[in-house]
């Protein structure tokens, strides 16, 4: 396997774990924890375990993502590749921002955690758009 293939594999595996957990938080974790009597303790127990995973996932996604971009540009890409990649990058960074806000402790981002269902739903919708764009980028012919 080439470096680019390994990078793509790592990128896709991490992307599916991060995206999957956002959906799981929205539909299962958040409603279950909010309904529990000792919700603050459970929330902190989950948060402290999940925060390092989220941070490692973010570094891996950004690292492998830029490596793949560099490899694609080396092979030659259509100008529309850059436009689509730019849209994907903005959406991906917004998803990672929401995911990080959910595991953060800072008061500055408490407004996101207070409306967690709304922000997690938005993140899941953006994940769908990111995957559609990513598939399109992967199938765009090289060259130009």
Binding residues for ligand HEM (CB under 6 A): 8, 11-12, 15, 18-19, 61-62, 65-66, 68-69, 72, 89, 92, 95, 127, 130-131, 134-135, 137-138
For residue 53, give Cα distances in angstroms to 4, 47, 59, 96, 103: 23, 10, 10, 12, 10
Shorter beta-carbon distance to ligand HEM: residue 42 or 67: 67
**Closer Cβ to ligand HEM, 42 or 84, answer by number:** 84
Residues 6 or more apart whose Cβ sits within 8 Å of residue 14: 57, 60, 61, 64
State in angstroms the smallest separation of the CB of 104 from ligand HEM.
17
Residue 38 burial (C-beta neighbours within 10 Å; 0-12, 13-18, 19+): exposed
Give me the least distance between CB of 80 and ligand HEM, in Å please: 12
CB of 108 to ligand HEM, least distance (A): 22
């Amino acid at each position: 396997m080439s470096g680019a293939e390994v990078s793509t594999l790592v990128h896709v595996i991490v992307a599916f774990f991060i995206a999957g957990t956002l959906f799981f938080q929205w539909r299962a974790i958040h409603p279950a924890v909010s309904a529990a009597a000792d919700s603050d303790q459970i929330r902190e127990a989950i948060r402290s375990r999940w925060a390092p995973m989220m941070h490692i996932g973010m570094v891996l996604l950004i690292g492998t993502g830029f490596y793949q971009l560099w490899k694609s540009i080396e092979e030659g890409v259509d100008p529309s590749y850059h436009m689509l990649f730019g849209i994907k990058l903005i959406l991906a960074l917004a998803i990672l921002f929401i995911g990080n806000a959910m595991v953060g402790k800072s008061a500055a981002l408490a407004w996101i955690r207070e409306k967690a269902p709304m922000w997690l739903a938005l993140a899941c919708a953006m994940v769908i758009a990111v995957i559609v764009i990513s598939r399109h980028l992967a199938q765009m012919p090289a060259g130009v």
